[in-house]
Amino acid sequence: MPLFGNSFSPKKTPPRKWASLSNLHLMDRSTREMELGLEYGTPTMNLAGQSLKFENGQWVSESGSFLGDRRELQRLRKRNQQLEEENNLLRLKVDILLDMLSETTAESHLMEKELEELKQHSRKKK
């Protein structure tokens, strides 16, 4: 029999009286916003000196001075379009070159086969 009692039988904790002692669920929305400051406003951020805010699912410039950026964006889109066209042209050229290579290889194999047949035929005649 242990001297100080059984250490593996802890006491039961009493059940809680309230799930939460907070009175937030008792207040209406406007009271909560006024009392607790729960209205945060629109999210904003500053990137490279440009202040942006999040509205209707998109980041929008607060100052509205995107003119320089819009010109740059148009220039980049035009350059992107040019590069895509050039890429498509180069892919077409590679496809044509691969077709030409396979055709030349096939012709080379046919010629080698014909040459071997001629050599065998000439050996038989001798």
23: exposed, middle or buried (Cβ count in 10 Å: 0-12, 13-18, 19+): exposed
Query: How far is residue 45's CA from residue 54's CA, in Å, rounded to a whole number?
Result: 9
The 10s digit of each residue's pLDDT in 25-67 is: 666 777 767 776 666 677 788 877 778 888 888 877 777 655 5
Beta-ladder partners of 54: 59
Query: How far is residue 51's CA from residue 102's CA, in Å, rounded to a whole number?
Result: 57
The 10s digit of each residue's pLDDT in 3-18 is: 666 666 777 887 776 6
The 10s digit of each residue's pLDDT in 61-87 is: 777 655 556 788 889 999 999 999 999
